[in-house]
Structure 1
Amino acid sequence: MSNPTLDNETGCAWREPFALQVLGDSMEPEFPDKCVVIIEQAEGCSHGMYVFAEVEGVRWFRQYQMDEQGREWLIALNRRYPEIDLRGREWKVMGVIIQRNIRRRVKHYRYEAEPRAC
């Protein structure tokens, strides 16, 4: 039996949703500074999903977008922050945001499209 503390992917808790606190204003107004988001671990996403992703070793909370030509990027909702063009980069989705909590006011996010492997 493997030790889940040594290899997170082998423990049953590895697939459980987890919470993170948003720090900063990059995803405002939808996700204000210090709100809490619930992330459901996933290996894929679809256009418009809010995702927790790793791009070349750096983790980001952004909205995933893909255009008709297949160009993919991560965007911050606050336009003061640049988009992250995913062309030619090593990246992966770690999870999708399924809930937001702002001072005990909860909002759920349900996505219509089936996620595809990103």
Structure 2
Amino acid sequence: MTQDCSYNELYALQVLDDSMEPEFPVKCIIVIEPSEVCASGAYVIITVDGERLFRQWVRDADGRVRLNALNPQYPSIELAGTNHKIEGVIVQRNIRRKIKHYKPYEENNGLAS
């Protein structure tokens, strides 16, 4: 039996809405590392009750987890009682060839190198 390692390969997506502005503007490219784990503050691609979302994963002091959009026009999503799975974590953003890297496994990810 051969094993396919492609499930571990980075992949890119284009942001199609304004829910994560201003950090991730419409049409910017994000690079995702497939993973089912992340630190609080990481940006993730996640499926929640069958809907695929791009949001910030936040765990509060009580251990409750929610997904935040950076654009205040979008509500936070509490994950308690949902069927959800992290598909991957954002490790890079590209806006017109300007690249920014993120550290998805360190707390308070918003201030990445």
Aligned length: 107
Shift of the 112–43 alpha-carbon distance from structure 1 to 2, 3 Å rule, reads closer
What displacement does 1:11 show?
2.4
Contact 2:38 2:104 in 1 (8 A): no
Task: Pick from 6, 31, 49 the counterpart of residue 13 of structure 1.
Answer: 6
Unaligned runs of 5+ in 1: 3-9
> What's the Cα RMSD here?
1.5
2:60 pairs with 1:67: yes
Q: TM-score, normalised by structure 1?
A: 0.85
Which deviations, in whole Å up to 9, do the C-alpha atoms of 1:64-91 show, x marking residues without a partner?
A: 0011111111010000001111011111
Q: Aligned residues: percent identity?
A: 53
Structure 1 runs of 4+ aligned residues shifted over 3 Å read none
- In structure 2, runs of 5+ residues without a counterpart are 108-113
For 1:95, which of 81, 88, 109 is the aligned residue? 88
TM-score, scaled to structure 2: 0.89
**Structure 1 residues 107, 71: CA separation in 2 closer, same or farther (over 3 Å shift)?**
same
